[in-house]
Structure formats: structure tokens, C-alpha cells
Amino acid sequence: MAYKIAVLPGDGIGPEIVAQAKKVCDAITKKFGHEFEYTEALVGATAIDQVGDPYPADTHELCMNSDAVLFGAIGHPKFDNDPSAKVRPEQGLLKMRKTLGLYANLRPVNTFKSLIHKSPLKTELVDGADFMCIRELTGGIYFGRPQGRSEDGQTAYDSCVYTAEEIERIIRLGFEYAGKRRKKLTIVDKANVLATSRLWREIGQKVAPDYPDIEVEYMFVDNAAMQIITWPKRFDVMVTENMFGDILTDEASVISGSMGMLPSASIGVHTSVFEPIHGSYPQAAGKNIANPCATVLSAAMMFEYAFGMMKEGALIREAVDQSLEAGVVTEDIADGKKAYSTSEVGDWLAEYIEKA
Ligand code: IPM
Ligand code: MG
């Protein structure tokens, strides 16, 4: 039986990095005798340009009928610089998250031995840092209504809304992941100011007794932002609401030395989506210079999380580690040494897997 993979390259560097992840998936499926059937679809600015909708119905249909979605990136500067644009690429991503029910975004933060010197933080602080940020993805201020402008245009408002049910499902997931790791859960909120955060904390306290072997702590988001860079090793699993998770994971991505290294998995009700945490990096689009590793590692998460294929995921991780070790890296981490192109890195990884 062939696994159905929806491929959504999106904007900017999306198509280039997704092409490398596909190469790697092909090498893996060949080696392990699996069968993948890929179908591409439009998303983001590219979809707006071609069909006027950043998440067209055809794309949604395809995702709903796929075992997993491999996603590149979305976003284009022509929309960023036009606050009055009626349709925006990001709306496509949000609609996809909401309609596919992707409520949990797993963003692992770790270091790579041969990249540690690239981290803006001191080696002794980051060496061995390894935590999982679980970001709630379909609620909070990203989706709360009302949102908009007053009639005279002089006031704007967003609403942060969470139901107890939404909070409980993600907090329980946090406890479960902590159970599979070092058994420590940090629930990040702003309960000293926000009503939604107080509900998060209340629910955390309600469900904690169900997980007696997990050590749980509650931390304000401003403190968490500070601790991520001053003492990242203190964290094991962190669970937080949508916007806090967006911000904290960009911050945490610098720990590894490059944002181009961090993958993510969005899991949910209908299917799961695997995508790098970085954006569409429009300045690099079409230049064959972007780091494909975050997308390749997202594919590793796809094997592990969507298909339970742990050996396959591990081999992809090993290939990425070895490419770093061998200095087969793109310019963001080349450090003045030879920089390889996006496709050269992809070829090297695929070849490593074939020979392994
Ligand atoms: C992310 C991105 C998105 C978000 C944008 C592109 C809407 O920053 O996935 O972290 O804010 O969720
Ligand atoms: Mg973000």
C-alpha cells in the first residue's frame, strides 16, 4: 500500500527545500521498501497569484485525503508591505491549520555537535540543550473574534479566546510527551495579566494529579523568554498557547545555531503536517542557497510521527548529522568555509542514505 503524501511547496525557498526533502524520502523509501505517492498542490502567495485563494479547496481536499502533508513555507514581501491587502498568504496557513484540526505543533529544540560554535549563546549553556516546545495551534489570539477596526479606523482589536476543552487537550498532550522524555513539564502563560492564561493554569492544576510521575511547573512567558537563552537545559517539555509558542520558538531556534535546522510537526484531527519552522526567506528564493535541513528533518518527523517508522527517521537524522560533520552545509552555517548549494546538500543526504 502506498502512503499518500500531499506536497505543498508554497512560496519563496519552499519549492527548493521541499525538493530536497523529497529526494531524501525517496532514498529512504527505496532503502526500506516503502511506497510513497506524492501529489503537489498550491498554497500561499503562489496560490493567490494563480487562483486567488491562499488555501484553495482542491488543496484542502488533497490534504484531507493524504496520510501526511509535507509543507515548505509561505509568505511574500509584497503582502508584508501592504497592510491593506485583502487576501494574505498567511491566511492560507491559518485556514489549513484550523480546517485540518492541527491543534498541536511540536517544535523540538536541540543542538548539533558540529554547529555549537555557531550558536550566539555560550557553548557551555547550549551544549546538551534538548527540549520540546508544544505550541497550541488552532486557538488563541490568532483565531479569536472579534478582530478588526472600529468604523473610523482609529481603533484596532484582536481577541484571545480559549475554551477549557482546547486547553485540556493540549496540556494533556504536554504531560504525555513529558512522560516519554525526562518527565518535566513547563506550562507557559501570562496568568498574572490574562484571563485565558488563568484558565490555562487552572486546567493545568486540574489535570496534573492524573500524571503523578511528571514534575510540573508554571512559568510566565516573559520569564520563559529569558530562561530559554540563559538556561535552556532546564527545559524538557514546554506547552504554551499559540502566540507565545510562535515567539518563543523563533527565539529558541537560535540555540541550535541556525533557524534553518529546526523542523516541526503539526498533529491533529484529520492528518498531520510537517514543515520547517522558518519562513519563505524571499531574498534567497530561486538562488539554490537556502538550508534544506529543517525540511529534511521535518520529513524525519513525518516518518516517526505519521508512520511510526523510527529507523527511517533515525537514518535521516544521522545523515544530517554526518553532513554537518563533513562540512557539506549551506552558507548560513558554512562559517567562511566552502558553502554547498541547497541541491548539493540534498544530493549528499540522499546518497548517504542509499549507501548506509
Ligand atoms: C510560524 C509562522 C506563522 C505563525 C506565520 C507565517 C503565520 O510564523 O509557523 O511560526 O505565526 O504561526
Ligand atoms: Mg513563527
CA–CA separation, 20 and 34 (whole Å): 18
Ligand 1 pocket check for 75: Cβ under 6 Å: yes
In a domain, residue 241? The reply is yes
At 187, is the secondary structure helix, strand, or coil?
A: strand
Ligand 1 pocket check for 49: Cβ under 6 Å: no
Ligand 1: nearest atom to the Cα of 250 = 10
CA–CA separation, 96 and 54 (whole Å): 9
CB 294 within 8 A of CB 276: yes
C-alpha cell at 44: 500561499
Same domain assignment for residues 126 and 236: yes
Same domain assignment for residues 318 and 335: yes
Active site residue 130: no
- pLDDT classification of 127: cutoffs 50, 70, 90: very high
Ligand 1 pocket check for 246: Cβ under 6 Å: yes
Phi and psi at residue 128, to the nearest 5° = 95, -5
C-alpha cell at 60: 484542502
Strands 3-10 and 36-40: parallel
Ligand 1: nearest atom to the Cα of 75 = 6
Give the ligand with the smallest distance to the CA of 96: 1
Per-residue model confidence (pLDDT) at position 189? 98
- Encode pLDDT of 75-125 as tens digits: 999 998 888 888 999 999 999 999 999 999 999 999 998 899 889 999 999
Q: Give the chain's mean pLDDT.
A: 96
Ligand 1: nearest atom to the Cα of 94 = 7
CA–CA separation, 139 and 291 (whole Å): 30
Phi and psi at residue 131, to the nearest 5° = -140, 165
Cell 538562488 locates to: 287
Contacts of residue 20, defined as CB under 8 A and 6 or more positions apart, other chains included, come to 292, 295, 296, 342, 343, 345, 346, 349
Same domain assignment for residues 7 and 92: yes
**Of residues 3, 142, 211, 340, which has the active-site annotation?**
142
At which of 213, 237, 256 does a domain end? 256
In a domain, residue 19? The reply is yes
Ligand 1 pocket check for 90: Cβ under 6 Å: yes
Same domain assignment for residues 320 and 303: yes
∠ CA 68-310-66, rounded to 5°: 10
At which of 221, 256, 291 does a domain end? 256
Tell me whether residue 95 is exposed, middle or buried, using C-beta atoms within 10 angstroms of its C-beta: 0 to 12, 13 to 18, 19 or more: middle
In a domain, residue 135? The reply is no
Statement: residue 59 has pLDDT above 90: yes
CB 109 within 8 A of CB 253: yes
Same domain assignment for residues 273 and 212: no
CB 238 within 8 A of CB 224: yes
Same domain assignment for residues 242 and 267: no
- Encode pLDDT of 276-285 as tens digits: 999 999 999 9
Same domain assignment for residues 214 and 298: no
Ligand 1 pocket check for 251: Cβ under 6 Å: no
Statement: residue 129 has pLDDT above 90: yes
In a domain, residue 330? The reply is yes
Global pTM reads 0.94
CA–CA separation, 67 and 298 (whole Å): 15
Same domain assignment for residues 51 and 68: yes
Q: Is 107 annotated as belonging to a binding site?
A: yes
**Could you list the residue range(s) of the whole structural domain that residue 226 is in?**
120-130+141-256
In a domain, residue 136? The reply is no
CATH number at residue 50: 3.40.718.10
In a domain, residue 199? The reply is yes
* Segment among 119-123, 130-134, 313-317, 349-353 with least mean pLDDT: 119-123
- pLDDT classification of 303: cutoffs 50, 70, 90: very high
C-alpha cell at 75: 509568505
The full DSSP string for 206-271 is HHGGG-TTSEEEEEEHHHHHHHHHH-GGG-SEEEE-HHHHHHHHHHHHGGGS-GGG-EEEEE-SS-
In a domain, residue 115? The reply is no
How far is the centre of ligand 1, averaged over its atoms, from the C-alpha of 336 (Å)?
30
Same domain assignment for residues 148 and 244: yes
* Segment among 70-84, 204-218, 234-248 with least mean pLDDT: 70-84
Same domain assignment for residues 236 and 309: no
Same domain assignment for residues 104 and 124: no
Instruction: Check residue 94 and give left, alpha or beta (phi > 0: left; psi -120 to 50: alpha).
Output: alpha
At which of 232, 256, 280 does a domain end? 256
CB 268 within 8 A of CB 107: no
